[in-house]
């Protein structure tokens, strides 16, 4: 294996999970030569790859995200990053009523928009998340697609900041 291939593999191993189940973002950043040592530049390069992707690829990225307080979380089947993020917002401590509300909203939202509700939950509590959820159900499909992509970028930025501290 040549050194450039090894460097690419190492980059993808480190940054491939920044966008949920979408290592193609890190692959494209590396292949485009946008590998920056600066966190802000790397975040911008990754966001530009996503923003420049086809609508189908963006939709696949949105659909790669888990439901908040959903079945995967209950079964412990989230990525480590998603588990940590949901725990930080107390979603692992939902009452039965809150869990039922999340699951009802998850179903309503996915039925309406075709992808799961996505919110950068760091720094938010369950009440704030539920309020966001209910408010965003009133958005148009185009508004919500754009809002969800914006939230995905926020999540990616938080994950990059966490990686930078490790």
- Please state the domain extents for the chain: 3-60, 66-165
The answer to whether residue 153 is catalytic is: no
Look at domain 66-165 and name its CATH class: mainly alpha
Computed over every residue of the chain, the mean pLDDT equals 91
Position 73 confidence tier, pLDDT thresholds 50, 70, 90: low
Position 74 confidence tier, pLDDT thresholds 50, 70, 90: low
Tokens 């369950």 map to which residue? 126
Give the model confidence (pLDDT) of 116-153 as tens digits. 999 999 899 999 999 999 999 999 999 999 999 999 99
Residue 103 confidence (pLDDT): 92
Q: Between 165 and 74, name the one with better pLDDT.
A: 165
C-alpha distances in Å from residue 57, one per residue of 82, 93, 142, 143: 20, 33, 16, 18
**CA–CA dist 22, 40 (Å, integer):** 20
pTM confidence score: 0.91
**CA–CA dist 88, 118 (Å, integer):** 15
**Positive/negative CA dihedral, 16, 19, 23, 28:** negative
For a pLDDT cut of 90, what percent of the chain falls above it?
70
Cβ neighbors of 65 (< 8 A, separation 6 or more) are 20, 82, 115, 116, 118, 152
């Amino acid at each position: 294996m040549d050194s450039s291939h090894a460097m690419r593999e190492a980059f993808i191993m480190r940054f491939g999970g920044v966008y949920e189940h979408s290592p193609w973002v890190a692959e494209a950043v590396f292949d485009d030569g946008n590998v920056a040592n600066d966190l802000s530049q790397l975040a911008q390069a990754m966001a530009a790859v996503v923003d420049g992707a086809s609508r189908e690829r963006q939709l696949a990225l949105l659909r790669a995200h888990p439901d908040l307080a959903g079945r995967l979380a209950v079964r412990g089947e989230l990525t480590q990053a998603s588990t940590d993020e949901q725990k930080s917002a107390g979603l692992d401590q939902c009452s039965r009523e809150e869990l039922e509300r999340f699951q009802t909203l998850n179903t309503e939202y996915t039925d309406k928009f075709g992808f799961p509700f996505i919110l950068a939950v760091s720094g938010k509590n369950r009440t704030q998340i539920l309020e966001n959820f209910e408010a965003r159900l009133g958005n148009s499909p185009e508004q919500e697609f754009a809002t969800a992509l914006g939230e995905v970028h926020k999540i990616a930025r938080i994950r990059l900041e966490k990686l930078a501290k490790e």
